[in-house]
Amino acid sequence: MKKRIIFLTVWIIISATLWYANFIYPNTYLQKGFQTFLALAIIYFVFKLVFEETISKRIKELKSKYAFRKTVSILYIAILVINIIGIWAGDVQTLYVAYGLAAAGIAIALQDLFKNFVGGIMIFITGNYHVGDRIEVNSRYGDVIDIGILYTTLMEIKEWVAGEQATGRLTIIPNGYVLSSAINNYTKDYDFIWDEINIPVTYDSDWKEAYTKILTIVKKETENVTYQAGKEISKLGDKYYLHKRDVEPAIFLTLTDNWITFNIRYITEARERRSLQNKLSQIILDEIQKSKEIKIASTTLDIIGFPEERLKQDN
């Protein structure tokens, strides 16, 4: 702030000096020089000392504050150049042309900034996502931890970490993405998602016993979450056009050349997907190992015989 006051003082002193010189020795160049430094002082005072300082103090987010200061600086330089051109050209038409070119240049230079600004407004108006939601935007996944006027900050999930768990990185997403990209919200109005575990079982296994055992385990372990999900999904019908959804666990069989695939479908809380999948996998694996009639298939090969090799020896 002190440096800015010093700069303003210098512009005023130079402007006053040129005015006095022009008053004593009238000259066109002295007059235009006085007008130039006066315009510089006035524009600097309005944009830098009043507008920028007043507004930036109210912006707490560092990214938004930086973007705002950058925008003000660009506008300040553009308006200053326009006024200097007008002063030295002395032609109204030239001034209008300068204003038009400056406006076009500003629009091009700040198009991403304006797009992000509009996107931020749309997020607050439409409520596409809120702080705390788990979302995917432009192939970026994470939990929303902050929504600024220009950017959204996510605690990143996925990437090199499996199971939709946090990587520890913060992902900054421009708000302008919401204007042109699809948004997948894992937790908007509904905190549950469907998940699947695929288990290959050999054809010589008792698939009916496997079906019964696995379905019993999944129903027991997901009983509470299934009940809560059923209550929440019934409320969605009051807000959205939604067909009735069955939230009970189910198993779908797929026949392949090598085994029978058990596609185990169940519902889970969005943020507990990996934990519940791990729990179910351990219990199911333990139960299968206890049974002599159920075997998990694999791509290993069973060698059942070798061709006879006859060696001929020369007599």
* pLDDT tier, 310 (very low <50, low <70, confident <90, very high otherwise): low
Looking up tokens 């996998």 gives 281
Sheet with strand 140-147: strands edge to edge: 166-174, 151-157, 140-147, 134-137, 183-185
Looking up tokens 């729990």 gives 279
Answer yes or no: pTM beyond 0.85: no
Mean pLDDT of 25-38: 81
What distance in Å separates the CA atoms of residue 266 and residue 197, rounded to the nearest whole number?
Answer: 9
Half-sphere exposure of 207 (CA within 13 A, CB side): 17
* CA 20 from centre of chain: 58
82 neighbors 95 (Cβ within 8 angstroms): yes
pLDDT for the residue numbered 7: 76
- The interaxial angle of helices 28-44 and 62-89, nearest 10 deg, is 160
pLDDT for the residue numbered 300: 61
192-290 CATH choice from 3.40.640.10, 3.30.70.100, 1.20.120.790, 3.10.20.740: 3.30.70.100
Class assignment of domain 127-185? Answer: mainly beta
Picking from 40-44, 167-171, 291-295, which range would have the lowest pLDDT averaged per residue?
Answer: 40-44
Which is more confident, 12 or 267?
A: 267
Beta 183-185 vs 151-157: how paired, if at all? unpaired
Picking from 32-41, 133-142, 179-188, which range would have the lowest pLDDT averaged per residue?
Answer: 32-41
What distance in Å separates the CA atoms of residue 233 and residue 267, rounded to the nearest whole number?
Answer: 12
Token pair, residue 31, equals 């007059």
284 neighbors 195 (Cβ within 8 angstroms): no
Nearest 5°: the CA angle 211, 216, 222 is 125
Predicted confidence (pLDDT) per residue in 224-280, tens digit: 999 998 888 888 777 777 777 788 999 999 999 889 999 999 999 998 999 999 999
Picking from 11-25, 75-89, 141-155, 193-207, which range would have the lowest pLDDT averaged per residue?
Answer: 75-89
Token pair, residue 94, equals 């030239």
119 neighbors 174 (Cβ within 8 angstroms): yes
Token pair, residue 15, equals 């402007």
pLDDT for the residue numbered 108: 66
List CB contacts of 4: < 8 A, sequence separation 6 or more: 44, 48, 49, 53
3-state secondary structure (DSSP) of residue 155: strand
pLDDT for the residue numbered 46: 78
* pLDDT tier, 100 (very low <50, low <70, confident <90, very high otherwise): low
Predicted confidence (pLDDT) per residue in 130-181, tens digit: 999 999 998 899 999 998 888 899 999 988 887 788 899 999 998 989 888 8
What distance in Å separates the CA atoms of residue 171 and residue 211, rounded to the nearest whole number?
Answer: 42
Token pair, residue 92, equals 């109204």
* pLDDT tier, 311 (very low <50, low <70, confident <90, very high otherwise): very low
pLDDT for the residue numbered 141: 92
* CA 105 from centre of chain: 29
Mean pLDDT of 123-132: 90
Token pair, residue 119, equals 């996107």
207-217: burial string, b at 16+ Cβ within 10 Å, e else? beebbebbbeb
pLDDT for the residue numbered 262: 95
Residues in the chain: 315
pLDDT for the residue numbered 136: 93
pLDDT for the residue numbered 265: 95
CA distances from 173 to 77, 116, 155 (A): 28, 10, 11
